[in-house]
Every structure is written in C-alpha cells, then in structure tokens.
Amino acid sequence: DTEVTQTPKHLVMGMTNKKSLKCEQHMGHRAMYWYKQKAKKPPELMFVYSYEKLSINESVPSRFSPECPNSSLLNLHLHALQPEDSALYLCASSQDAAGAPPAEQYFGPGTRLTVT
C-alpha cells in the first residue's frame, strides 16, 4: 500500500478565514512533506518533517503553519492567506531520513485551494 490521503480535495476560503489541510499515511514512513504547486509549474517544497520534527522550512510565510501530531498525520494550518496562495497543495511521505538510504516520495492527491 503506497497511499497518502489528503482532505479536503477542494477548499475555497476568504482572506480572513482559518482553515486546515490534513494528510495521512499508514506506510510507516518517517518523513513527511508539504509542497505547493502552481499551474504548469513543478511542485515547490514548503516543509519537511522527519521523525515528527520540523527539519526544513523553505522560508515559508508564517500564514502557513505546519503541524505533525504523530508519525502518520501532517496538518497545514492556514490563516490570513492571500489570493496568490491559491494553488494545489501536495503532501508526500517517504522512508527517507538523514543517514538512511535514499527513498522515493509518495504523493497524496492534493488539496486544490482557492483564496478569494
């Protein structure tokens, strides 16, 4: 089973709203990731969690706040977003970790976010 699930599939929110994106994997993967993908562009890394600890923040604005409640779950809390934040938000997971052999990342189906 190489499934990563994400909810919701679609989200429309106003600039003053607070919402959360959720991601779940049951593959025992130690690393989880958030990516942002704009139309006709490749995914751009936002955050990496390794063993439930934030290991990489790619200078993402504070209106995006990640959280890893346990090894299977990853959330992305959204607050005061801008219209330019509208994009497909992808979650991924892998067995990859520092010092371990490299491993592929498996992506969830994404949440298509529209900020109005």
Partner 1 sequence: EDKVVQSPLSLVVHEGDTVTLNCSYEVTNFRSLLWYKQEKKAPTFLFMLTSSGIEKKSGRLSSILDKKELFSILNITATQTGDSAVYLCALTGTASKLTFGTGTRLQVTL
- Indicate the residue among 12 and 56 with the shorter CB distance to partner 1: 56
Q: The tokens of 61 are what?
A: 């604005």
In whole angstroms, the minimum distance from the beta carbon of 104 to partner 1 comes to 5
Task: Specify the amino acid at residue 33.
Answer: Y
- Indicate the residue among 55 and 116 with the shorter CB distance to partner 1: 55
- Contact positions vs partner 1 (CB under 8 A): 2, 4, 31, 33, 41-45, 48, 50, 55-56, 88, 90, 92, 94, 96-98, 102-110
- Contacts of 94 by beta carbon, 8 Å cutoff, 6+ apart: 29, 30, 31, 33, 103, 104, 105, 106
